[in-house]
Homo-oligomer: A and B are copies of this chain.
Amino acid sequence: MRLTLLGTGNSAGMPLYGCDCERCTTIRQFPEKKREHAAALLEVEGKKYLIDAGLMDLAERFPAGSLDGIFLTHFHPDHVQGLFHLRWGIGAKIPVFCPPDSTGCADLYKNSGILDFKLLKKFNSFDVHNLKITPLPLIHSKVNFGYLFEFNHQRIAYLTDTKGLPEKTQIYLEGMKLDLLVIDTSHPAGIEDLNHNNLNDSLLIQRNLGVKRTVLTHIGHDLDVWLSNNVNLLPENVNAGYDGIVIIPHM
């Protein structure tokens, strides 16, 4: 499995609109430091799966036929907004695996176009080609699934957006010996949010689960600023994600 984080920002993205702090000013000068909205690409045996669809240029990045499926964590706009355009394409349907959220986002269900929404059930594992997927409930203001991806004895958990973990999800993952955890870490330590982890929340989760490697994502403004000054304070097996980072679990 090969995972590329395409968008590692929170709903506001970085730079923050209207913010003239040193970090935002730097990012405007060096756009490669930007944090786009939630999206990641999982590649397995030549198949390409998108995890969340917050990027608005999906049509350019993934020409028709190049995506074998999309996994949505939830239907907040910053995780699905790229689909508003893509859906009106022509040709083969794209399977979109998602939590059973009856409201969806705006008119995505009503006008689904080439998107073939497949509503999942928590903890009900299923296979797509040789990839095994298990939807895991998280703690957020909208129905939300993290995903456990398993292939060839490798295990990746992609958990965003969440504040901590539900007990059953934690217990499910504890026995898994995860090779890689990608975890919502929106805020620096000390900032409490009912819907998103801060850095301490994420470090506690990675310790409890005994993960080999952890990558932080969904990084908000204040954590981005903190990381730009303190990235060496992260534990050795914990990395701050960035747009474009390629992660191959066994390496």
Residues of A within 8 A of B (CB): 11-13, 16-19, 37, 56-57, 59, 64-65, 76-78, 81, 84-86, 88-92, 105-107, 114
Contact = CB atoms under 8 A, between A and B. Distances in A.
Contacts of A107: 76-77
- The binding surface of chain A is classed by DSSP as loop
Contact of A88 (B11, B56, B65, B84): B11
Given A12-B89, A18-B114, 18 more contacts: A11-B88, A13-B59, A16-B88, A17-B64, A17-B88, A17-B89, A17-B114, A18-B64, A18-B89, A18-B90, A18-B91, A19-B89, A19-B90, A19-B91, A37-B85, A56-B81, A77-B106, A81-B81
Given A17-B64, A17-B90, A18-B89, A81 B84 contact: yes
A84 B77 contact: yes
A114 B12 CA distance: 12
A91 B59 CA distance: 33
Contact of A12 (B16, B88, B91, B106): B88
